[in-house]
């Protein structure tokens, strides 16, 4: 997991320092030459690259913490989901950086799964205290298939989301629980204590 995050950071830096800068200069040159349509296309591609950079490494996570990063993520996912996605948070205390990163990446995966396999409403709850942090993500879909909860089933089918979430939880000494509500829907919870 640490190697994966280091690679994400390296790729983000490479995209930002190379391709995005070149694309921005190309847009200026196209504007200066009067080719406004191509300049607009270059700006659109640059915005898509910025969104990819946000997925790879979020400055908001480093600067402001998991709560604001979750606000950004929920707003973004809300535009993709066909229904309500909301965040409830109480996070006056910031946990250590590695905990914040793990919580954000688990939320990212869980929200992606909720949009693809579940259905709205989707609720994200994030709470911190001086010695703990908790995350819960609920959707109203049919619920996770019990056989998909086994890490072996996830890797055999080529779906590594659950395995990645478990590895992130283990890396910070947290507990991850993914289960189906008896009435339908999936709940993903992550609990950490210092």
Name the nearest CA neighbour of 46 among 28, 21, 77, 29.
21
C-alpha angle 163/61/144, rounded to 5°?
30
Q: What are the pLDDT tens digits along the chain (194 aa)? A: 556 666 776 776 677 677 878 888 888 889 889 999 999 998 888 888 877 776 666 777 778 899 999 998 899 888 878 789 999 999 999 999 899 989 998 999 999 889 888 889 999 999 999 999 999 999 998 888 776 655 444 444 445 788 889 998 999 999 999 999 988 899 999 999 99
| Token couple for 42 | 């270059």
Q: Are 135 and 100 in contact (CB under 8 A)?
A: no
How remote is the C-alpha of 148 from its chain's centroid? 21
Return the pLDDT at 134. 97
| Token couple for 92 | 């006056």
Return the pLDDT at 156. 46
pTM, two decimals, is 0.71
- For the chain, first and last CA: distance in Å? 20
Return the pLDDT at 157. 47
Return the pLDDT at 159. 54
Return the pLDDT at 148. 66
């Amino acid at each position: 997991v640490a190697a994966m995050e280091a690679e994400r950071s390296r790729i983000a830096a490479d995209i930002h320092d190379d391709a995005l800068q070149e694309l921005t200069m190309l847009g200026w040159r196209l504007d200066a030459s009067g080719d406004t349509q191509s300049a607009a296309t270059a700006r659109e591609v640059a915005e898509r690259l910025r969104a990819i950079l946000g997925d790879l490494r979020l400055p908001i996570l480093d600067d402001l913490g998991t709560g604001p990063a979750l606000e950004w993520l929920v707003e973004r996912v809300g535009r993709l989901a066909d229904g309500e996605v909301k965040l409830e948070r109480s996070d006056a205390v910031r946990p250590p950086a590695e905990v914040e990163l793990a919580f954000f990446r688990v939320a990212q995966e869980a929200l992606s799964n909720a949009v693809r396999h579940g259905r709205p409403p989707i609720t994200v709850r994030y709470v911190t205290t001086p010695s703990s942090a908790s995350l819960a993500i609920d959707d109203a879909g049919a619920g996770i298939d019990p056989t998909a909860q086994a890490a072996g089933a996830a890797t055999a089918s080529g779906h590594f989301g659950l395995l990645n979430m478990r590895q992130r939880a283990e890396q910070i000494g947290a507990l991850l629980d993914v289960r189906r509500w008896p009435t339908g829907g999936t709940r993903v919870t992550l609990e950490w204590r210092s």
